[in-house]
Amino acid sequence: MKEISDITVQLLQAKIEWHKPKFNLEHFNHLIGQSGSADLIVLPEMWNTGFTMKADLYHSHANEALRLMKEWSLKYAKAIVGSVIVKEDDKIYNRLYFVAEGSVLAHYDKRHLFAFSGEDRSFTAGDSKLVVSYKGWRFCLNICYDLRFPVWARNYEDYDVLIYSANWPDARIDAWQSLLKARAIENQSYVLGCNCYGQDAWRNAYGGHSYLYAYDGSLISEEKRNEQLFTCRLEIEKLKEFRTKFPFLAERDAIKSDWKTNYFTDSK
């Protein structure tokens, strides 16, 4: 079996201008150009438009956003994870792409739609979990509101890292921080929570609060409440040692649900 190496991950806590795709594309292009080397970078939810229910007006911008993600993955030699609005077969999805080496390796459609803001009326919910194997690491992809549903995130697949791409407002930021930490503890996995910065079209504030948690629930990133890039090294042997010392996952409840899990394994 090929030895798995430690990896460097980044969270791009960037400013988003709602309903201004041109600005966001240019802004993220600049920021990623300054991000330095890493194996993977996570972008906020709907990074090119902001979290909007005007899906019919903005799904047409997905192709340009995806083209840039592919370009970045080649130019900067890192995997890119980010969500955009996608229309497919007359249905609209909040879709999180995992892009590497100029290609889409896999995508995840948001399972839990935020009815409080009307997302369930504008979008179609996904029906599958996604675990992506990349450079030997196993990543479980999620989007924002999925964080509130621990059964969905339960580590039945023995993944190593939970990713949450989000537009989570300051009004409920305590829940964001508490639930990210809880997901790390209960699943004995690294958790990457990437949030945006700025103000939406309805004047809700987004102060950032992106976090990286270790498998034991300890915070491994600093609190930063502005536009920032978080960079962290994830250590595979420490993760394995912790799970061996505290084999709590072996006692998890049996899965009882009708959902399915999609798997993608890279060729390396």
Under 8 Å CB-to-CB from 248, ≥6 apart: which residues? Answer: 188
Q: How far apart are CA 262 and CA 22, in angstroms?
A: 33
Catalytic residues: 45, 110, 144
- Give per-residue burial for 205-227: e unless 16+ CB within 10 Å, then b: ebbbbbbbbbbeeeeebeebeeb
Q: How many whole angstroms separate alpha carbon 122 and alpha carbon 93?
A: 9
Q: Which distant-in-sequence residues (6+ apart) come within 8 Å of 122 by Cβ?
A: 53, 54, 55, 56, 92
Which CA distances in Å does 180 have to 30, 136, 190, 203, 267?
29, 23, 10, 25, 30
